[in-house]
A and B are shown apart, each in its own frame.
Chain A
Amino acid sequence: MSLALRDVSRTFNGTTAVQNVNLEVKPGEIIGLLGTSGCGKSTLLRAISGLDPEYDGEIEINGTVSKEIHDTTGFIFQEPRLLPWLSVLDNVTFGLTGSRKDKENRAIEYLESVGLRGKEKLYPRELSGGMAQRVAIARALVTSPEILLLDEPFSALDAFTKMQLQDLLLDVWKKYQSTIVLVTHDIDEATYLCDRVVILRGQPGEVEKEITIEQERPRDRGSEELAHLKSEILESLDLNKQ
């Protein structure tokens, strides 16, 4: 599904958090949103998802402008937000429809991919922070959303698990051609995953720069080209620069 933001701004009680964001996303594209803390990345994501309809400007999803929540959109929040009264398995099947057996099989498949096979019966209070976040990731991916919004999904995870889950995300993307908007603080993650990196800056946040990454996937995390892009991104994030 395609996605377009036109002059999107969001003001909270008189203070503007983000301002005049324009963005065209092609179907199946992976966009990275980068920016310092508080520049409005989560705010933008919530506007796209439809959870926050109070923005100004237009957001167009697949050709129609609306402020509603689309049920083909998946959202991985900055926190796990698991439902504490449901077991891990029931949390993952939460958004699925169909027969119980099918739902559970699908859920187990995704739990396996996030490395949580055998933990189906645990309750959220029994999980570590990273495990909880992985359940949340499974819960969002299992519905194979056409638009996937991710708010720093991997920031609570160790380097190795993070890389595995980035690859899982790419697998899902390859299979379902989801359009992805990924908020991240991790520049390596952005250069490894994204087709385009959008850099927000300032308060209120505005689009500072867009960097297109042409490299074929699978990318080599250690490649010189990515290192070069990283320094370019770092430079545009630099707060001291005017």
Chain B
Amino acid sequence: MAEQQNNVTAGYVKPAPEARGKKASIKKKKDSLVKTVFMGSIIPVLLIIIWEILCRAGVVPSNQLPAPSTIVEKIISMAQDGSLWGHVWITTYRVLVGFVIGTVAAIVLGSFVGFYKKAEQLFDPMIQAFRSIPSLAWVPLFILWLGIGETSKVTMIAVGVFFPVYLNIVSGILGVDRKLIEVGKMYGLNTLQLVKRIILPASLPSFLVGMRSGLGLGWMFVVAAELMGASQGLGFLLVFGQNMSSPETILASIILFAIIGKITDWILKLVEDRSLHWQDRLEK
């Protein structure tokens, strides 16, 4: 964003040094990225060092809280014997499939409810009522209906993803500025064109917000699903670690959850930044 602004000012004075301005601003962006990473990692690094020292000094018992180095060793050994990739892959796979199904269902129902008054009157009260049930409460029912196989896990995740995406799509569509719709009408757009050229782009920000919180919930639900019963996956590692009294396995699994969850969120964030660069947002 800073980059664009720079271009603007360059354009005002004389167009020639535009390229130089761009380069400079990319460098500036890099610098600020390095700075954010540095600032953000001071405290975690300090804490990890203290933790390591306390463990080595024997202040905390290692069968309760293993040292960071032990956890890292655990992850490395799992990576070496190959079991790590299977766990990571199956968990990510479940989240992604559930996420796609939940999002698609939310898009279909959400646009329907957003565009048609009748559909809103029919569906929305029911969906709102379902929403007030904590989604984890469905777990036993799904297991009863679908067994503890993949289907029930993916369904649970999809249910968790569905609500935030749905709610944001509906509020995005209902919140489109009437004034912009009038502009479209003045140019003789029909309903389909209005949807494509005005309503969709205008509700995109809200949709993406919904996707990101849906993804967060997806990760939460995969833990619940895998805790219930699984023979593979990061959630299974949690249970396994507990049964084997191996805190390093539990902590390794937690850390892997954090890393993969962050990566998937970061991908969505990139998509968001790319498609919403036009937004007039407050910049810090």
Contact = CB atoms under 8 A, between A and B. Distances in A.
A49 interface: yes
Contacts, number: 54
Interface string B95-108: 00000000000000
Nearest to A143: B187
Given A51-B185, A51-B186, A126-B4, A77 B280 contact: no
A69 B186 contact: yes
Interface stretch (A4-12, A78-86, A169-177, A209-217): A78-86
Contacts of B180: 81, 83
Nearest to B15: A118
Contact of B202 (A71, A73, A85, A122): A85
A110 interface: no
A125 interface: yes
- Which of B11, B186, B188 neighbours the largest number of chain A CB atoms within 10 Å of its CB? B186
B188 A79 contact: no
A129 interface: no
Contacts of B15: 118
Nearest to A51: B182
Contacts of B204: 85
A106 to B, nearest CB: 15
Interface in A18-66: 49, 51
Contact of A69 (B8, B185, B277, B278): B185
B280 A118 contact: no
Given A79-B179, A83-B201, A85-B202, A74 B280 contact: no
B183 interface: yes
B195 interface: no
Contacts of B182: 51, 77, 81
B280 A73 contact: no
A239 B183 CA distance: 34
A84 B5 CA distance: 16
B186 A83 contact: no
B121 interface: no
A84 B183 CA distance: 12
Contacts of A85: 201-202, 204, 278
Contact of B188 (A71, A119, A123): A71
A74 B186 contact: yes
A86 B186 CA distance: 17
A150 to B, nearest CB: 12
Contacts of A77: 179, 182-183
A125 B185 contact: no
Contacts of A119: 11
Given A77-B179, A85-B202, A123 B278 contact: yes
Contacts of A126: 4-5, 8
Nearest to A123: B278
B110 to A, nearest CB: 20
A183 B197 CA distance: 29
Interface string B173-210: 00000011011011110000000011001101000000
A69 B280 contact: no
A83 B183 contact: yes
Contacts of B187: 71, 94-95, 143
Given A51-B186, A77-B179, A83 B198 contact: yes
A134 B201 CA distance: 23
B183 A81 contact: yes
A74 B185 CA distance: 11
Contacts of A124: 278, 280
Interface string B200-239: 0110100000000000000000000000000000000000
Given A122-B8, A126-B4, A84 B278 contact: yes
Contacts of A75: 186
B278 A125 contact: yes
- Which of A49, A73, A95 neighbours the largest number of chain B CB atoms within 10 Å of its CB? A95
A129 to B, nearest CB: 13
B279 interface: yes
A79 B278 CA distance: 19
Nearest to A91: B183
Contacts of B280: 84, 124-125
Contacts of B278: 84-86, 123-125
Interface of A: 49, 51, 69, 71, 73-75, 77, 79, 81, 83-86, 94-95, 118-119, 122-126, 143
Given A94-B197, A126-B8, 12 more contacts: A51-B185, A71-B187, A75-B186, A81-B179, A81-B182, A83-B180, A83-B183, A85-B201, A85-B204, A95-B188, A122-B8, A125-B279
> Top 4 nearest A-B pairs by Cβ distance?
A71-B188, A125-B280, A95-B187, A85-B201
Interface of B: 4-5, 8, 11, 15, 179-180, 182-183, 185-188, 197-198, 201-202, 204, 277-280
